[in-house]
Structure 1
């Protein structure tokens, strides 16, 4: 399930669940209904905070959303497309550093059945020309490219499905084991793993599979030649402790290059801090390779795997590297600046249109900009 496209120490004050955090869960008529629960965590050299509000699970009584277990800073979250960077992109930084993968090699070097004319770099830049989305649980074979490879950016889940397979071929390991050995283990991310949360405190991801069913039946945002009746394995109950993304869950057992990771805000902060201090981790990757992944590509807001965001601070504007996820998580870091940012929510637990993940993220960036002007 893809969107259409789309330090400081631990002494910062925390806002517990239920405390007032002005506007934290607000959506607004134009933006959509706010998430049931939300955690926002910021670490910078000048200030930091963790805010937590709302509920990690909900139920409906007579059509009304009723909160149950509160959201906490330690809640496990379905990362959705944040998996693309925490797992796949970071694994590739290591594999490129070790000479096991070449960015400019044709993907067919690793996956002989892949379409010709597409490089590993193209897929990381979302310039592989592939379809943005395709229900692999209905037809497992990827369709021919939708666009001319290498010429335009078209955000694609399918490209990262292939990149996850490249990681498997290069390591000789299943993707979940490869990511554990290359990324989560070395970085000490003990609460980050594929397919299911590492603990019982988990945020509900979605009400059921209704969003993906509607994508098929409406043909929006991608006009694939299938309907929901073509698949019989839909989840009709709340999705909790399973990845919401249909391709990751129904087609890949919860383990894919584009989605499937669960993690916590503390783990994600640790990841972002490590990427910000990438030079200090030269036992894991070559710093010059990391810098190549961080650099802007032909599309200014896209690096190799990472999205790029402008963050105005008091005296300068810095570039945040990160990625959003459809369920409601976003991460970001600023290389060499000891800045780590995490947002985690369950925005799909609504009756109407949910607030976009990007709206929640840009609200956080705005708040950081305003705070920077007061220190």
Structure 2
């Protein structure tokens, strides 16, 4: 979620910040990035299959070496063709876990990206929140066809917005029509201030969105809006009596042992260990990337404030389809893209590869970080990857990484 824009004029700064913020926490696969630094090498963690053997064991070892090499090559390309100083990916399947990184986590010290580095996960937060909401629906503590007004009376009113006509289902699927607060220039100006400024509250963000007319009538179309998930965070708190962060920790992070995942609130720094986050180089593509590691994530809230690791995200997206968090009927609702014309379900979207494989996952952009996690429908194969800038990777490089992992024969 960019805080400071590189343009020199105040008007330029505000407009650039608004445009960047509107792109933050978005869902689009694959993305497109600009030119980036040359690769500076790759680090790796071997999974199962190391050593020597014969017969089937030897075949598995050879396959493991092949997929390990393919992952390293794809991550090197991701870094080399993008605008990020570094990139990393972690893959899990029946043969074990593979990790590869390329480039640098810290341009000042020359530190490489580590497997257990914490980073901002952006809109991947939405999948966590959707999981909690669907759990509460399964427990009959709320209904997906409940209106926003029933849980948050009076909050969504005015300028053609009416919480009495918007359901929780429409929030989950981005079919509410509510304006995305991230596209409001006043929020962009607020985020252009130093992180020491007073944090924005979820209700302030909602009021900012409601000050704009809706994009369409509830249920009439689809448009990705961070306002939807900020509202869902408030609904979770109203239903459970606990903040969405605490409820997500109790229901998801704790049971899965996701110790590297946290909700920082207004805390501007990252837990250790971590590298740095950088703004992408724009214009001529030359110069030194600006360090944007420290920021106030409170404006992202339930739409994108989570901090995590590649291991934690892979574990979560691998566990989700296996039934430990949601019953089959709830998972089917999560993957139902009817309302969005095939683009988005409830906190998940489909990624369709040219080899015929369909994956399910989410991505996230926030200042200094781009990440994506995808998994096969059964959760047995998962890929989590990240760059240390918010710019999406080059589309061809991202496709190559996905195909290397999921289109192998």
- Please list the CA deviations of residues 233-253 of structure 1 after superposition, one character each: whole Å capped at 9, or x if unmatched: xxxx8332546x5723xxxxx
Q: For residues 329 and 94 of structure 1, what CA distance do their matches in structure 2 show?
A: 25
Residues 81/175 of structure 1: CA separation in 2 closer, same or farther (3 Å cut): same
Matches within 5 A, 1:103-118: 103-112=144-153, 113-114=155-156, 115-116=162-163, 117-118=165-166
Matches within 5 A, 1:165-184: 165-184=234-253
Aligned to 1:224: none
Deviation at 1:186? Answer: 1.3
Matches within 5 A, 1:41-52: 41-45=90-94, 49-52=98-101
Residues 126/240 of structure 1: CA separation in 2 closer, same or farther (3 Å cut): same
Q: For residues 15 and 72 of structure 1, what CA distance do their matches in structure 2 show?
A: 17
**Which secondary structure does the structure 2 equivalent of 1:367 belong to?**
helix
**Which secondary structure does the structure 2 equivalent of 1:42 belong to?**
strand
Give the root-mean-square deviation of aligned CA atoms. Answer: 3.1
**Which secondary structure does the structure 2 equivalent of 1:25 belong to?**
helix
2:79–2:387 CA contact under 8 A, matched in 1: no
**Structure 1 residue 365 corresponds to structure 2 residue 402:** yes
1:276–1:340 CA contact under 8 A, matched in 2: no
1:126–1:154 CA contact under 8 A, matched in 2: yes
Residues 261/136 of structure 1: CA separation in 2 closer, same or farther (3 Å cut): same
Within the candidate set 89, 92, 102, 1:53 is matched to: 102
- Largest Rg, 1 or 2: 2
**Which secondary structure does the structure 1 equivalent of 2:353 belong to?**
strand
Q: For residues 275 and 360 of structure 1, what CA distance do their matches in structure 2 show?
A: 27
1:329–1:357 CA contact under 8 A, matched in 2: no
Q: For residues 80 and 360 of structure 2, what CA distance do their matches in structure 1 show?
A: 25
Aligned to 1:201: 273
Aligned to 1:25: 79
Deviation at 1:276? Answer: 3.0
Aligned to 2:169: 121
Q: For residues 262 and 337 of structure 1, what CA distance do their matches in structure 2 show?
A: 22
Deviation at 1:366? Answer: 2.4
- Please list the CA deviations of residues 153-197 of structure 1 after superposition, one character each: whole Å capped at 9, or x if unmatched: 111111111111111111110121111111111111111001167
Q: For residues 207 and 185 of structure 1, what CA distance do their matches in structure 2 show?
A: 33
Matches within 5 A, 1:98-247: 98-112=139-153, 113-114=155-156, 115-116=162-163, 117-132=165-180, 133=182, 134=184, 135-136=186-187, 138=190, 140=205, 141=207, 142-143=209-210, 144-195=213-264, 199-207=271-279, 238-240=291-293, 242=295, 247=299
Deviation at 1:271? Answer: 0.7
Return 5+ residue gaps in structure 2 as ranges.
1-20, 29-45, 49-63, 157-161, 191-203, 283-289
Aligned to 1:64: none
Structure whose residues are more often helix by fraction? 2
Q: For residues 164 and 297 of structure 1, what CA distance do their matches in structure 2 show?
A: 24
Q: For residues 394 and 308 of structure 2, what CA distance do their matches in structure 1 show?
A: 17
Residues 57/88 of structure 1: CA separation in 2 closer, same or farther (3 Å cut): same
TM-score, normalised relative to structure 2: 0.67
Quick check: 195-204 or 172-181, which moved more?
195-204
- Please list the CA deviations of residues 307-360 of structure 1 after superposition, one character each: whole Å capped at 9, or x if unmatched: 1111355xxx33211111112100112232512110111124xxxxx4447665
Q: For residues 10 and 46 of structure 1, what CA distance do their matches in structure 2 show?
A: 7
Residues 136/161 of structure 1: CA separation in 2 closer, same or farther (3 Å cut): farther
TM-score, normalised relative to structure 1: 0.73
Residues 108/79 of structure 1: CA separation in 2 closer, same or farther (3 Å cut): same
**Structure 1 residue 262 corresponds to structure 2 residue 307:** yes
**Structure 1 residue 288 corresponds to structure 2 residue 329:** yes
Residues 202/265 of structure 1: CA separation in 2 closer, same or farther (3 Å cut): same
- Please list the CA deviations of residues 48-81 of structure 1 after superposition, one character each: whole Å capped at 9, or x if unmatched: 632111112234xxxxxxx632111111110011
Deviation at 1:148? Answer: 2.0
2:279–2:389 CA contact under 8 A, matched in 1: no
Q: For residues 275 and 207 of structure 1, what CA distance do their matches in structure 2 show?
A: 32
Aligned to 2:286: none
Residues 2/270 of structure 1: CA separation in 2 closer, same or farther (3 Å cut): farther
1:343–1:361 CA contact under 8 A, matched in 2: no
Q: For residues 76 and 260 of structure 2, what CA distance do their matches in structure 1 show?
A: 29
Q: For residues 256 and 96 of structure 2, what CA distance do their matches in structure 1 show?
A: 24
Within the candidate set 321, 334, 347, 2:360 is matched to: 321
Aligned length: 309
Q: For residues 221 and 308 of structure 2, what CA distance do their matches in structure 1 show?
A: 32
